[in-house]
Homo-oligomer: A and B are copies of this chain.
Amino acid sequence: MIGGVTREARRVRVTLALPFPNAPIEDELVRLIHEAVEPLAAEVDVEVETIVMDEERRRDFLEHARPQRRAPSSINVKHVLAVLSGKGGVGKSSVAGLLAGALQRRGLKAGVLDADITGPSIPKLFGVSQRPGGSPEGILPPETGTGIKLISINLMLQSEDEPVIWRGPMVGKAIEQFWQSVAWGELDYLIVDLPPGTSDAPLTVMQSLPVDGIILVTSPQDLAGMVVRKAANMARQLAVPLLGLVENMSYVECPECGARIEPFGPSRAEDTARHAGVGLLGRIPLDPRLAVMCDEGRIEEYQEMDFAAVVDEVLELTFEDTKRG
Residues in chain A within 8 A of chain B (CB atoms): 22, 24, 86-90, 93, 116-119, 121, 124-125, 159-169, 171-172, 195-200, 203, 219-224, 226-227, 229-231, 233-234, 237-238, 249, 252, 254-257, 259, 261-265, 275, 286-288, 291-292, 294-295
- Judging by beta carbons under 8 Å apart, are B254 and A118 in contact? no
| Residues of B close to A264: CB separation below 8 A | 288, 291
| Residues of B close to A288: CB separation below 8 A | 261-265
Closest chain B CB from A126 CB (angstroms): 12
> What are 30 contact pairs spanning A and B, CB under 8 A?
A86-B119, A86-B163, A89-B90, A89-B219, A116-B197, A117-B199, A118-B198, A118-B230, A121-B223, A124-B222, A160-B226, A160-B230, A161-B230, A163-B234, A165-B238, A166-B198, A167-B168, A167-B169, A167-B172, A167-B200, A167-B203, A168-B200, A169-B169, A197-B197, A221-B291, A223-B294, A256-B257, A256-B259, A261-B261, A265-B292
Q: Which residue of B lies closest to A265 (CB)?
A: B291
Contact check: which of B168, B197, B220, B263 meets A196 at CB < 8 Å? B197
| Residues of B close to A234: CB separation below 8 A | 163, 165
Closest chain B CB from A292 CB (angstroms): 5
| Residues of B close to A292: CB separation below 8 A | 265
- Judging by beta carbons under 8 Å apart, are A168 and B165 in contact? no
- Judging by beta carbons under 8 Å apart, are B263 and A286 in contact? yes
- Judging by beta carbons under 8 Å apart, are B229 and A161 in contact? yes
- Judging by beta carbons under 8 Å apart, are A118 and B199 in contact? yes
- Judging by beta carbons under 8 Å apart, are A118 and B86 in contact? yes
Give Cα A288 to B266, complex, Å. Answer: 9
Give Cα A241 to B178, complex, Å. Answer: 34
Extra inter-chain contacts (8) besides given A22-B159, A86-B163, A124-B223, CB under 8 Å:
A86-B118, A121-B227, A162-B233, A164-B230, A222-B295, A252-B261, A256-B257, A263-B286
Give Cα A137 to B125, complex, Å. Answer: 50
Give Cα A222 to B234, complex, Å. Answer: 31
Give Cα A261 to B252, complex, Å. Answer: 9
| Residues of B close to A229: CB separation below 8 A | 160-161
Give Cα A210 to B250, complex, Å. Answer: 40
* Residue in A89, A229, A231, A275 with the greatest tally of chain B CB atoms within 10 Å: A89
- Judging by beta carbons under 8 Å apart, are B257 and A196 in contact? no
Q: Which residue of B lies closest to A219 (CB)?
A: B89
